[in-house]
Structure 1
Amino acid sequence: MSERANGGRGVETRQRILDAAERLMAERGIEGVSLNEINSAAGQRSTASLHYHFGGREGLVRAIMQRHGPWLRARHEELYARLVGDGRQEDVRALAEVIVLPPAEYLELGPSPRAAIRIWVSALNRPQLDIEEVSHLVDPVLTDVGRRIVALVSRSMPRELAVERLFLASQAVLHLLADRAALEDASDNRRRPLPLPLMAANLVDMTVAALTAPVGAATARLAETAFDRAPA
């Protein structure tokens, strides 16, 4: 067999393994499926090809994120560039749209993008998540967006609370989108969810509200104690 034929066969094998891993990990979570199950679903007789192409579970997760990353990254950058061009760098809603809209829009593009969102959430929930993995999961532009949001929100509350709000709001958005992705692909779905564009707009509203809600008196008292700094 020619080298070109071998190369083409290798690409097809890699694609089949990646497709199988994406589908199964979306359904059961990253840790909820064995490599043998992925291998069998891809029509492989042994795990040799899986280990050759991906090295193992971590390599599969990175490959899935790299497969979907370019679209999401481009959309994040597009929205952020538009925001900067319009001079809306201090508009919390505009910044929230950069976080919420791209993954929400991605759900409309089919089962594979929806699987990616579900796997993304599963990956972010892993307690053993390391810095290298984070670099594959978070677009660089979102780091700047996050810093801007924290700077704006912390004008009316301790910075630590602003950071926590951003983290929790972002996590909530991703979990809700992952739930919607599962609902979209469920064979026995009897619910009538909002149209995705309306859901996304509502999620932006909810995110802005979560970020900018006034700090209650009880929260302020607890924060004062929790964030008390020892004298220098």
Structure 2
Amino acid sequence: MSERRTSARGAETRERILDAAERLMAERGISGVSLNEINTAAGQRNTAALHYHFGGREELVRAILRRHGAWLRARHDELYAALDGREPSTRELVEVIVLPVAEYVAEGPSARAAIRIWVSAINRPELAVEEIQGLVDATLTRAARVLIERMPETMPRPLAVARLVTAAQAALHVLADRAVLEDAPEPRRGDLPLPLVAANLVDMTVAALTAPVSETTRAAAVGALDPASA
């Protein structure tokens, strides 16, 4: 019985730390808040509590993303499975990427904090491509691969990858900004309804991915890319 109580207290402490970290990191950025501040905001008088449960900042961020990843992963999987193995359109593939995040904005403050932290995490310049891929679930990776193959034939693959990453990040930034607006106590401006924001983002992303490569860009690619990849 005593061991169960200790385990329950430990789980409660862990959740309180995650709650505090979500709120503060969403407001001030992943590196903009100290671990001591998070520990204090979680009501922990033991200064070692955060380190005991998470080890440090990086594992704390991963724990926040894991906390919310199951919902997003399930929704990505659901949308992809609805394609029933047929040849999906470019728009349908983009919907797999964009719509779950847009829907999660409506799930409450904790979900919105997670989106802001996720966007902040994947934008950190010290992260390698492989580490960014570790923050993305398998269904998103699958959809991205198909989209890259759909790019105009005249587009070099490195440019196609860069275009997809840029378009996806732009959509995520818009949704992270919308998350801020949703939680603002007295927003001074109105905005489009969230479903319309999502639909418009899908349209814009499809347009970005399917736009032809201009002669100017093609000429720049010749000088900037390895001839084998261009």
Give the 5 Å matches for 1:87-126.
87-89=86-88, 91-126=89-124
Output the amino acid matched with 2:96.
V
In structure 2, what is the equivalent of residue 77 of structure 1?
77
Q: CA deviation at 1:146?
A: 0.8
Shift of the 168–111 alpha-carbon distance from structure 1 to 2, 3 Å rule, reads: same
Output the amino acid matched with 1:66.
R
In 1, distance between residues paired with 2:41 and 2:128?
29
In structure 2, what is the equivalent of residue 189 of structure 1?
187
8 A Cα contact 1:153 1:211, kept in partner: yes
Cα RMSD over matched residues?
1.7
Task: Kindly provide the CA deviation profile for residues 168-210 of structure 1, in whole angstroms up to 9, marking residues without a partner as x.
Answer: 0011011111111011101131111111111000000000011
In structure 2, what is the equivalent of residue 64 of structure 1?
64
In 1, distance between residues paired with 2:64 and 2:129?
17
TM-score by length of 1: 0.93
Residue 128 of structure 1: SS of its match in structure 2? coil
In structure 2, what is the equivalent of residue 49 of structure 1?
49
TM-score by length of 2: 0.93
- The answer for unaligned runs of 5 or more in structure 2 is none
In structure 1, what is the equivalent of residue 142 of structure 2?
144
In 2, distance between residues paired with 1:135 and 1:167?
11
Q: CA deviation at 1:102?
A: 0.6
Output the amino acid matched with 1:190.
R
Q: CA deviation at 1:133?
A: 4.6
Q: CA deviation at 1:136?
A: 4.5
Say which is worse superposed, 126-135 or 72-81, in terms of deviation.
Answer: 126-135
Q: Report how many aligned residue pairs link the two structures.
A: 228
Q: CA deviation at 1:159?
A: 1.7
8 A Cα contact 1:65 1:136, kept in partner: no
2:219 equivalent to 1:217: no
8 A Cα contact 1:88 1:94, kept in partner: no
Shift of the 162–60 alpha-carbon distance from structure 1 to 2, 3 Å rule, reads: same
Residue 106 of structure 2: SS of its match in structure 1? helix
Say which is worse superposed, 173-182 or 154-163, in terms of deviation.
Answer: 154-163
List structure 1 runs of 4+ shifted beyond 6 angstroms: none
In structure 1, what is the equivalent of residue 19 of structure 2?
19
Q: CA deviation at 1:15?
A: 0.8
In 1, distance between residues paired with 2:226 and 2:53?
51
Residue 129 of structure 1: SS of its match in structure 2? coil
Output the amino acid matched with 2:79.
L
Shift of the 55–131 alpha-carbon distance from structure 1 to 2, 3 Å rule, reads: farther
8 A Cα contact 1:21 1:38, kept in partner: yes
Task: Kindly provide the CA deviation profile for residues 43-87 of structure 1, in whole angstroms up to 9, marking residues without a partner as x.
Answer: 11133111111111111101101100000000111111112x162
In 1, distance between residues paired with 2:162 and 2:127?
18
